[in-house]
A and B are shown apart, each in its own frame.
Chain A
Amino acid sequence: MAALEEWPAALLDPARPAPLGLETWNGSDPAHRFGIYRNNVLVSLVDSLADTFPVVAALVGDEFFRAMAGEFVRANLPTSPILYRYGADLPRFLTAFPPAGSLPYLADVARLEFACVRALHAAEGATLPAETLERLLRTPGLLPGLRVRFDPAFLLLSSRYAIVSIWSAHQERGTLGGVDPLIPEHAWIQRHGHAVRVQSVGHGEMEFSAALLRGETLHSAADAAHDAEPGFNFSAGLVALLERRVIVGFVGPSASESP
């Protein structure tokens, strides 16, 4: 039994000897064969990160990405066999990874990519019933006191960097030409059909949606949005959310369902 306990450390650190108690039928070197397992573990987990973070990989180049991801893997093995969740800690790792210091936006781009994967696999939301909207339009005075329920695949991310522009430049037909990475951007991330859509929104819209996501009323969310962006238009902000079909329900003041 002791033999297997030596395996994880030996798999992750090629400087360590192969575990004791290994045999080969022909007397060949078991340590050489053990190298296949070392390679499988590292390569498969680095590949998994490359699947989740293709834009980060494109920004730093394949060789840099694989070396960086290898360091991450050795220090942060997955705690679950469900690998689409692997890499949640990569953004934090990147902020403390000196070789990537010249790309200060890298960690936030990684956060955006991880959010995209979360959105893709998030639970299905309901569809807002048309009659709910019609009723709201007939009694607009009730609106300010309502809270909203969002689609589980609707996520938000704010950055000091132009993460949406950088991300978009790496999608089909995108280009990095003219992107100033030092302009702050706010992202709405949602699932649309079977794909993920990322959109850059204004500071007011971001604060509005973030306050709603925290469970604040439309009135209080509008106040937060005005504080961030004095020109914020409440109706336009609400319509933007409705048009993107990310609101799946309204909750009345008594926490009951919509009026």
Chain B
Amino acid sequence: MAPIDPAATLSREAPRIAAADARLPRQAGVGLKPQHFTAFLGMASRPGFFEVHAENFLVDGGPLPHHLARLRETSALSLHGVGLSLGGLDPLDGGHLQSLRSLVARYQPAEFSEHLAWSSHQGRFLNDLLPVPYDNDALLRVSAHLDHLQNALGRSVLLENPATYVEFSQSTYSEEDFISEVVRRSGCGLLLDVNNAYVSGTNHGRDLHAYLSALPLAAVRQVHLAGFHRDVDSLGFPLLVDHHGSPVDEAVWELYGWVLRRLGPLPTLIEWDNDVPPLPRLLEEAGRAQSLMAGLARNRSVADGRA
């Protein structure tokens, strides 16, 4: 593979480069927040990769593109879309797709991901990841939207499993079967959000290991970990709310360990978007994910040594 010229990578007119399909490192990464730009730029040993919300960086100039470009010179990047509304009834917004295409061309992220959710209706944006009924109409719609997106970006994208609070009586697929079918039809990869799996699993009384085992795990190219908020439903059962505003719960760390034992180390992002803590606390969470992956590698080599 030819070496990457960072200047060419970051120029707006940069041609597609060989790095476009490079994978994220199988290490822990963190969500990048503007208040941490300077600290990261001065840091000798940064997290394995950064992730940003694509829509936050769809600006024309100023500090956001400046700092992201500088960090991108030496760090791997994942772009996470939060506004395409892949599960919505509207066709994908062509102007927005074009903007995302420019963003991807500019920053050459290792991955672009979006959600199995909807957020826009008749051109109005609701700014939440709303649930999709799992029926044939939605299957065709989401698959077609993913095709549209992947053609526009010229790459395979990742689809993230959702955190949901209600289910639809019209659903004819389980969530895991629906995701499997979408992945099979579109050829997209899976962004396995372990917190979302735990939140939805709790909220809908699912067997978590059975749910995860039924997902297309071979397609997982990235993992998300985040914190949730505990509430209760009208009958007093636990109702977990995905809010990205607290540490990763112990139960989610445990489930993450289970995933690692099945799949080996994976690029793992700590998402902390609200009440963002001081950087050392954020890095501590990333360090824990990194240690779990390292412990896994040690156990494997010990097992190999014995064999």
Contacts and interface: CB of A to CB of B under 8 A. Distances in A.
A23 B82 CA distance: 26
Contacts of B241: 36
A81 B119 contact: yes
A37 B130 contact: yes
B166 A80 contact: no
B125 A3 contact: no
A235 interface: no
B121 A48 contact: no
A139 interface: no
B83 A81 contact: yes
Contact of A21 (B58, B60, B169, B204): B169
A85 to B, nearest CB: 9
Nearest to B231: A36
B176 interface: no
B133 A8 contact: no
Contact of B125 (A5, A30, A80): A80
B61 A82 contact: no
Given A26-B233, A122-B62, A44 B128 contact: yes
Given A23-B169, A26-B235, A32-B233, A78 B125 contact: yes
B170 A41 contact: no
Interface residues of B, number: 48
Interface string B41-80: 0000000000000011011111110100000000000000
Contacts of B88: 4
Contacts of B99: 82
Contacts of A5: 89, 121
Contacts of B56: 83-84
Contact of A153 (B62, B96, B234): B62
Contacts of B167: 22-25
Contact of B128 (A41, A79, A80): A41
Chain A interface size, under 10 / 10 to 19 / 20 to 34 / 35 or more:
35 or more
B124 interface: yes
A123 interface: yes
B305 interface: no
A1 B59 contact: no
A62 to B, nearest CB: 16
A7 interface: yes
A108 to B, nearest CB: 24
A246 to B, nearest CB: 14
B58 to A, nearest CB: 5
A40 B169 contact: no
Interface of A: 1, 3-5, 7-8, 11, 21-30, 32-34, 36-37, 40-41, 44-45, 48, 77-84, 120-124, 152-153, 191, 194
